Amino acid sequence: MKPTKNRVYIFDTTLRDGEQSPGFSMNLQEKIRFARQLEKLGVDVIEAGFPVASEGDFISVQQIAKEIRKPQIAALARADLKDIDRAWDAIKEAAHPRIHTFISSSDIHLKYQLKKTREQVLAEAVRAVGHAKDLTDNVEFSPMDATRTDKDYLCEMVESVIEAGATTVNIPDTVGYAMPDEMGDLIAYIFAHVKNIHNAIVSVHCHNDLGVAVANTIAALKQGARQIECAVNGIGERAGNASLEEVVMALETRKDILGFSTNIKTRNIYRTSRLLSDITGIPVQPNKAIVGANAFSHESGIHQDGLIKEKITYEIMTPASVGVNDTNIVLGKHSGRHAVKERLKKLGFNLSGEEVDKVFIRFKEVADLKKEVFDEDLEEIISDIIFREPDKYKLLYLNVISGNAAIPTAAVRMEVSGKVIQDAEFGVGPVDATFAAIKKITKTKHSLIKYAVNAITGGTDAQGVVTVQIGYNGYTVSGRGSDPDVLVATAKAYINALNRLETMKNLERRRPEDVSQ
Ligand code: KIV
Ligand code: ZN
């Protein structure tokens, strides 16, 4: 029998499944900053990371567990006693800790990856849950690749782990293979065949390889699941996880037929999505549901005509309901420190006096170059100067010559571990010359994966936001830089990527293949 209560628990895995995907890695400060925003958003559970994966992951999970007090803080662990102990060490000081342990259950994984029998895997799952239960009452178990697992074996495993103490059983569509009807049927099957199912909350974790993660998630809810695992902007392994904002707004907008409620403060959705893009340097596609730049813009004349007459003609939810256009108060070069400080507070940044001073100096520089400074510009300034880790490389000076009658040349002066070094290089164009000069100074070896320029806020006086993604020895890191001058933004973004790569190397983060998950 399906549960009668219709409250849906939101388990956010942006900082775990999302952060582990290429280009989305974050440093400690960035993870904490994002976790604070998730708390404001009202998620029920934050999966903060996979502590055994690296020292860096352990520390960030531990810090989030200490600081974020309202949501439950989950740490992921393989069904291995040492993994579980490490996860527990990271979260034991959380106000509401949760251990999330998993092992593969499909014959495909058992045969080719684990090389174990069903009996062995079942015994390991039960032992892992029992061990986790000795540490905390709040234990989640996931049979990985559940949607390609023999149904009766899956039910046996679910029943056994609940018997061993699991309080949440998560059914992952690990490879994004299921179709919505199938996902719904699987959850219904579990409810019909697992006799102790009502002693646990059933959860789903759907990947988006076939573009149906959100539909699968909703299908599962209709059959009795009450926790959903999702990520902001839908980030995650490969094609990503079910997008938090899409599932939540579907439940909200179609309450009439679905009848579910969540704890999410939907007005914080847009800000959360923007913060993630700001931190990772990866913007969302313009036509992305809910948070894309075009999600609420109407181009067709017929649609515009209808909207002017009555919004409901073409608008199924208001932009304000997800926080779009909530905060467009504009500051300019005549705005004083007090106005900037007040605006920062409204944006949720409670900075110290010294930090406000730093932001204000930069604000004045930007305001001198632009007529209007938007909230997005302020957020950009903050990410740039407050939330950045101490850097090995710093840009001191950049001069670029280009044009149709000049050989593009960049002269760069930098600080490298405290030492001032300068050099110049030619390039095919000004961007290429800037990259070449910085590469020469820093003597770094890596591949360039992506270079992208965006503008925040319209107009030719917009700040250019540059994203640079580089790859080195299996790591992929993104860097971001903003400046009204696109070449300066380019140099900043490239140097930011190099600094982040250094942090990553220092943390000796293990590469994904070292940790099977
Ligand atoms: O996709 C998956 O199966 C996972 C599990 C660890 C829940 O991410
Ligand atoms: Zn996953």
pLDDT at 437 (0 to 100): 96
What is the total count of domains within the chain? 4
CB of residue 11 inside a 6 A radius of ligand 1? no
pLDDT at 514 (0 to 100): 40
**Arithmetic mean of pLDDT, 125-147:** 98
Same domain membership, residue 163 and residue 96? yes
Measure the CA–CA gap between 207 and 407, rounded to whole angstroms: 48
Place of tokens 């059933």: 202
CB of residue 142 inside a 6 A radius of ligand 1? yes
Of the listed ligands, the closest to the CA of 146 is 1
pLDDT at 498 (0 to 100): 92
Is the predicted pLDDT of residue 510 greater than 50, yes or no? no
User: Among residues 105, 98, 23, which one has the least CA distance to residue 68?
Assistant: 98
Is the predicted pLDDT of residue 507 greater than 60, yes or no? no
CB of residue 205 inside a 6 A radius of ligand 1? yes
pLDDT at 379 (0 to 100): 77
Residue 482 confidence class, pLDDT cut points 50, 70, 90: confident
Same domain membership, residue 350 and residue 205? no
3-state secondary structure 424-492: EEECCCHHHHHHHHHHHHHCCCCEEEEEEEEEECCCCCCEEEEEEEEEECCEEEEEEEEECCHHHHHHH
Q: How far is CA 172 from CA 37, 102, 223, 234, 275, in A?
A: 26, 10, 15, 15, 27
Same domain membership, residue 240 and residue 381? no
Contact status, residue 467 vs residue 452, Cβ threshold 8 Å: yes
Same domain membership, residue 22 and residue 47? yes
- For residue 298, what are its two tokens? 């109407």
In a domain, 240, yes or no: yes
What is the value of pTM for the model shown? 0.78
The pLDDT > 70 percentage for the chain reads: 93
In a domain, 123, yes or no: yes
Spell out which residues have Cβ within 5 A of ligand 2, the ion: 17
Domain extent at residue 131: 9-280
Is the predicted pLDDT of residue 328 greater than 60, yes or no? no
Contact status, residue 465 vs residue 482, Cβ threshold 8 Å: yes
Contact status, residue 195 vs residue 160, Cβ threshold 8 Å: no
Same domain membership, residue 470 and residue 362? no
In a domain, 446, yes or no: yes
Same domain membership, residue 339 and residue 268? no
Is the predicted pLDDT of residue 337 greater than 50, yes or no? yes
Per DSSP, helices labelled H in 26-80 are 28-41, 55-67
- For residue 181, what are its two tokens? 């009807």
* 426-438 per-position pLDDT tens digit: 999 999 999 999 9
pLDDT at 109 (0 to 100): 98
**Stronger pLDDT, 486 or 84, i.e. the higher one:** 84
Measure the CA–CA gap between 398 and 11, rounded to whole angstroms: 45
CB of residue 148 inside a 6 A radius of ligand 1? no
Same domain membership, residue 428 and residue 338? no
pLDDT at 193 (0 to 100): 98
Same domain membership, residue 495 and residue 462? yes
In a domain, 514, yes or no: no
**Stronger pLDDT, 20 or 124, i.e. the higher one:** 124
Distance 106 CA to ligand 1 centre (A): 13
pLDDT at 398 (0 to 100): 96
**Arithmetic mean of pLDDT, 303-308:** 77
**Arithmetic mean of pLDDT, 263-291:** 92
What residues form DSSP beta bridges with 448?
A: 470
Same domain membership, residue 236 and residue 106? yes
- For residue 99, what are its two tokens? 């251990």
Residue 461 confidence class, pLDDT cut points 50, 70, 90: low
The per-residue pLDDT of the chain, averaged, comes to 90
**Stronger pLDDT, 74 or 342, i.e. the higher one:** 74
Same domain membership, residue 137 and residue 189? yes
In a domain, 517, yes or no: no
What residues form DSSP beta bridges with 422?
A: 413
Q: Which atom of ligand 1 lies at the shortest distance from residue 76's CA?
A: 6
In a domain, 175, yes or no: yes
Measure CA 41 to chain center.
Answer: 13
**CATH number for the domain including 60?**
3.20.20.70
With residues binned 3-state (H G I as helix, E B as strand, rest as coil), the percentages for the chain, rounded to 5, are 45, 20, 30
Distance 174 CA to ligand 1 centre (A): 6
User: Among residues 44, 49, 58, which one has the least CA distance to residue 18?
Assistant: 49
Measure the CA–CA gap between 147 and 185, rounded to whole angstroms: 11
**Arithmetic mean of pLDDT, 124-132:** 98
What residues form DSSP beta bridges with 423?
A: 412
- For residue 417, what are its two tokens? 């571990």
In a domain, 399, yes or no: yes
pLDDT at 501 (0 to 100): 83
Is the predicted pLDDT of residue 517 greater than 50, yes or no? no
Of 38-42, 271-275, 332-336, 381-385, highest mean pLDDT: 38-42
Residue 297 confidence class, pLDDT cut points 50, 70, 90: confident
Same domain membership, residue 209 and residue 319? no
CB of residue 236 inside a 6 A radius of ligand 1? no
Contact status, residue 106 vs residue 148, Cβ threshold 8 Å: yes
Residue 219 neighbours by CB under 8 Å, 6+ apart: 180, 181, 183, 184, 187
CB of residue 46 inside a 6 A radius of ligand 1? no
Other CB atoms closer than 10 Å to residue 348's CB: what's the count?
13
Distance 172 CA to ligand 1 centre (A): 6
Place of tokens 């999966």: 47
**Stronger pLDDT, 104 or 418, i.e. the higher one:** 104
Same domain membership, residue 450 and residue 312? no
- Mapped onto helix, strand or coil, the DSSP state of residue 478 is strand
Mutating to test ligand 1, I would choose from 144, 202, 217 the residue with most ligand atoms within 8 A of its C-beta, which is 144
pLDDT at 508 (0 to 100): 47
Residue 200 confidence class, pLDDT cut points 50, 70, 90: very high
pLDDT at 330 (0 to 100): 66
Q: Diameter of the chain by CA atoms?
A: 79
- Residue where one domain finishes, among candidates 280, 304, 339: 280
Q: Which atom of ligand 1 lies at the shortest distance from residue 142's CA?
A: 7
- For residue 300, what are its two tokens? 């067709």
Distance 479 CA to ligand 1 centre (A): 27
**CATH number for the domain including 444?**
3.30.160.270
Measure the CA–CA gap between 199 and 431, rounded to whole angstroms: 60
* CA-nearest residue, atom 4 of ligand 1: 174
- Residue where one domain finishes, among candidates 386, 420, 435: 386
- Residue where one domain finishes, among candidates 358, 386, 414: 386
In a domain, 351, yes or no: yes
Amino acid at 484: P
Residue 126 confidence class, pLDDT cut points 50, 70, 90: very high
Measure the CA–CA gap between 411 and 301, rounded to whole angstroms: 50
**Arithmetic mean of pLDDT, 253-267:** 97
Size (the chain), residues: 517
Is the predicted pLDDT of residue 152 greater than 60, yes or no? yes
**Arithmetic mean of pLDDT, 115-133:** 98
What residues form DSSP beta bridges with 325?
A: none
